[in-house]
Amino acid sequence: MCSLDKSYMGNRIYPKQLIKLDELQGNENAFCTKLFETLKNDVDVSDIAIEQRCADYRTVVYGDWNNDFLRYHFGDDGFWISVRMYPGIIADYEFSPLFRAQANKRQLHWRASIEPNEIGKLHDALVRSCKAFFGGPDCKKQKSSTDAELPKRRMTMRIKELAETSSDLTEVLKDRYTLLSQRDVILAGSNYHPASEKLRDGSVLTCVHEKDNPYDADAVALFDMNQEIVGYLPKNNKSKNAVLKAVDSGMPVKAVVINNGTDGGTRRKRKRIHLALVCREPNK
């Protein structure tokens, strides 16, 4: 446990706030003991302190009074734990099932979906959170998932998460599929096709080359599972040529809805449906 004479603590921590490990009872004692065991090989646990800053939860700090990398609560209403998330950590855990309990990913602390005896599952996130306060790559600001485009790695994580609740997507992923685009694609023309209103995160669409389209011979239409058109790939999208090449060669190309959001920046709110384009890998 952290001692009060640590220079970095100064007068910011008061004796009445500090909680000693041997003062904790039952499940809380077991949880904190396992927490220290989880971290001891990567951080100096003598620089960790447990505090009672408010009545609702305990705060765990590392190396500085402001570095509250962990919060937890034991009570009659159950248990919860939250981890302080930095930009670099968010990039790796935004779609992780470990943080499914956290609905608002804009908050500084994220609730984890674990039981007290599963604290080891958060080892990587906890160690990185401890150290990120003092600098390093995890402190660097990165694009949020609410931006118009998502990096390829995060698209892959999002698809895996959605597959857990979408039977249609699970069926598609039975075969080996590869991403056709480095970034996500915004569905074009969805406002003109009522069927697009039924789309949800995890919906699977089929790409079809409309060779007889009077406006664009290279138009790629997207159809839902009921064979209703929901929109098109944007005319100048960088991935369009790859989609056309695959479709025309007989390879099925699917579009997965990864974010069925709304853009409120205009006078009339309009849907901005983000897609990930996937193509079945040819048999070797």
The predicted-structure confidence for 243-266, as pLDDT tens digits, reads as follows: 999 999 988 899 999 887 654 444
- Please give the pLDDT value at position 42: 94
Q: Using H for helix, E for strand and C for coil, what is the string for 136-185?
A: CHHHCCCCCCCCCCCCHHHHHHHHHHHHCCCHHHHHHCCCCEEECCCCCE
- Please give the pLDDT value at position 213: 93
Q: Per-residue pLDDT averaged across 211-227, rounded?
A: 94
Q: Quick one: CATH architecture of 18-139? A: Alpha-Beta Complex (3.90)
- Please give the pLDDT value at position 227: 94
Q: What is the pLDDT of residues 13-28, one digit of tens each?
A: 444 466 777 778 889 9
Size (the chain), residues: 284
Q: What is the pLDDT of residues 173-214, one digit of tens each?
A: 777 778 887 778 889 999 999 999 999 889 999 999 999 999
Q: Per-residue pLDDT averaged across 118-145, rounded?
A: 82
Q: Does residue 93 surpass a pLDDT of 80?
A: yes
- The neighbour count for residue 179, using CB atoms within 10 Å, is 18
Higher pLDDT, 42 or 160: 42
The residue ranges of every structural domain in the chain are: 18-139, 152-280
- The neighbour count for residue 233, using CB atoms within 10 Å, is 26
- Please give the pLDDT value at position 148: 42
- Please give the pLDDT value at position 136: 77
pTM of the entire structure?
0.53
Nearest to 63 by CA among 123, 125, 17, 132: 132
Residue 171 one-letter amino acid: E
User: Average model confidence (pLDDT) for the chain?
Assistant: 82
- Please give the pLDDT value at position 11: 37
The structure tokens listed for 17 are: 């706030």
d(CA 141, CA 124): 19
Q: What are the distances in angstroms from CA 260 to CA 33, 145, 178? A: 42, 12, 22
Q: Does residue 117 surpass a pLDDT of 90?
A: yes
Is CATH 3.40.50.2000 what the domain over 152-280 is classified as, yes or no? no
Q: What angle do CA 240, 246, 249 make, to 5 degrees?
A: 135
d(CA 62, CA 157): 30
Would you list the DSSP string of 14-65? -TTTEE-GGG--HHHHHHHHHHHHHHTTTS-GGGEEEE--SSS-EEEEESST
- Please give the pLDDT value at position 261: 66
- The neighbour count for residue 250, using CB atoms within 10 Å, is 7
Any idea what DSSP says for residue 121?
A: G
Burial zone of 34 (CB within 10 Å; 0-12 exposed, 13-18 middle, 19+ buried): middle
Strongest mean pLDDT among 11-25, 96-110, 181-195, 222-236 = 222-236
The answer to whether the CB of 234 falls within 8 A of the CB of 185 is yes
d(CA 246, CA 239): 11
